[in-house]
Amino acid sequence: MANYYDILQIPRDATIAQIKAAFRRLARRYHPDLNPGDPEAAEKFREIERAYEILRDPARRERYDRDLEPIPSESPTNDRGAAFFYEKGLRYAREREYRRAIENYSQAIEIDPTFWKAYLQRAIANYDNSHERAVFEDCRQVLLLNPDCGEAYYYLGLARQRLGYTQSSIDAYTRAIKLDPHPARIYYQRGLAREELSEYPEALQDWRSAAEGYRVAGDFRHYRFLQTKIKTLQKNTKNTLKKKERTVSQIFKNLWFALSNIVKIFLSSLVNPRGGLSSAFLKLDKNRALEIGIISGTIGSICLAVSWRNWSVNLPFERLWFLAILPVLLIVFSSYFLRKMEKKYGHIAGDVFAGGFSFLPISLVFFLNSKVSFSEDIVGFTVGMASVYCGWIGYNAYTGISNIRPRIALVFIPFVMFFIGAFIWSVYYYL
């Protein structure tokens, strides 16, 4: 005969809150009023009620526990196995006790660091517990162990969207859609992100795909809900979806906005070289990030070209500017190449953004040295310090924006900086 804990489907160490929750859940299933004419349900309900009466009373529960077989002595954590704590975490998650669920998933991971499902479930529990930063780390671990896990990309997108990194969340949702066999919920969430960015035609298309997925699955409640949202969005944006010609004033306004953003981002990267650049990128949409990256790279190349001209390099300015663009392109294409080689998600806008801002500090140092007469020792020192600083920014841009593994970026950055330095000085000395 099953003991009272088995009847209520709870562990021996269940809390009073767990006991009450289990009773309410089972009572709704087996109550005689909900199962008229079913004697088995009536008998089951009486067992549940009897178990609840005993276990909710601390004194009666203590006497009952003494009469039960003793709980087997706990073996060391490693002897229980990762699966034991994983299942225990799932049970706590179902009961919305996320803190205890996270503790058990962590124990499973400690036993088996390659248990990617435990990382994934811990990410889900952290998201439900509003610990978005922890979601990032767990999802990245999942993707290192199982690159084809669409669920990890989905929760990575949810966490980023909640933190306001909307464009980055869209990239994660896009990867999740490619990997998930039933992506209706992901289409819906990507549509919400695109609506936040005022990308209304794309949002409508995502919601249509989601609605079709729900219709095929027979989930007509969500299907009708999405049909209503689609009609509402179409009505609200009917007159705004037409393309408008950009006037000269609009161009100058956008340019001023881009330049002011470049100054803010540059100062942010100076104050916080480790995370300022990636944090700024994640708050921009793709088009804006691409625009700002191109402008910052252009400014840097102009500064370098002017520096060469001030140092009497005997070439027309147009050719100097063309040569000055090459270091920026080297950083951009190295970021793109490493990202593709590592099969990391991302966008060319991130590569351009990283290239423009990684090169900007050293180009400004060259420009200042060319305008002010310093001794060769001071010039060498300032250029050397700027090179180290740009290498540090480039490393954090590779890892934080292009999602390249730290050890790969750490090996590759010195080569990139060496080639850029050799190129700049070779133009100065030999042309």
**Mean pLDDT, residues 14-23:** 85
What is residue 78's predicted lDDT score, i.e. its pLDDT? Answer: 42
What is residue 76's predicted lDDT score, i.e. its pLDDT? Answer: 41
**Mean pLDDT, residues 39-46:** 82
206 neighbors 185 (Cβ within 8 angstroms): no
pLDDT at 74 over 70: no
What is residue 385's predicted lDDT score, i.e. its pLDDT? Answer: 81
DSSP 34: G
Name the most confidently modeled range: 11-25, 106-120, 232-246, 284-298: 106-120
DSSP 75: P
Minimal CA–CA distance to 360: which of 238, 263, 260?
A: 263
Q: Tens digits of per-residue pLDDT, 383-404?
A: 778 778 778 777 887 787 777 8
**Mean pLDDT, residues 194-221:** 91
Q: How many CB atoms lie within 10 A of CB 172?
A: 26
Give the Cα separation of 13 and 247 in Å (integer): 70
Q: How many residues does the chain have?
A: 431
Of the pLDDT bands very low, low, confident and very high (cuts 50, 70, 90), residue 77 is very low
Could you give the 3-state DSSP secondary structure of residue 244?
Answer: coil
Range with lowest mean pLDDT among 11-20, 45-54, 150-159: 11-20
Query: 118 versus 28: which is more confidently predicted?
Result: 118
| CA distances from residue 213 to 209, 219, 309 in whole angstroms, order as listed | 6, 9, 61
Q: Tens digits of per-residue pLDDT, 261-295?
A: 778 877 777 777 667 777 887 778 788 888 888 88
Percentage of the chain modeled with pLDDT above 70: 90
What is residue 265's predicted lDDT score, i.e. its pLDDT? Answer: 79
Query: 424 versus 73: which is more confidently predicted?
Result: 424
Give the Cα separation of 401 and 389 in Å (integer): 17
**Mean pLDDT, residues 228-238:** 85
Minimal CA–CA distance to 196: which of 171, 173, 164?
A: 164
Query: 400 versus 69: which is more confidently predicted?
Result: 400
Minimal CA–CA distance to 68: which of 77, 56, 55, 78?
A: 55
82 neighbors 113 (Cβ within 8 angstroms): no
Which pTM value belongs to this model? 0.51
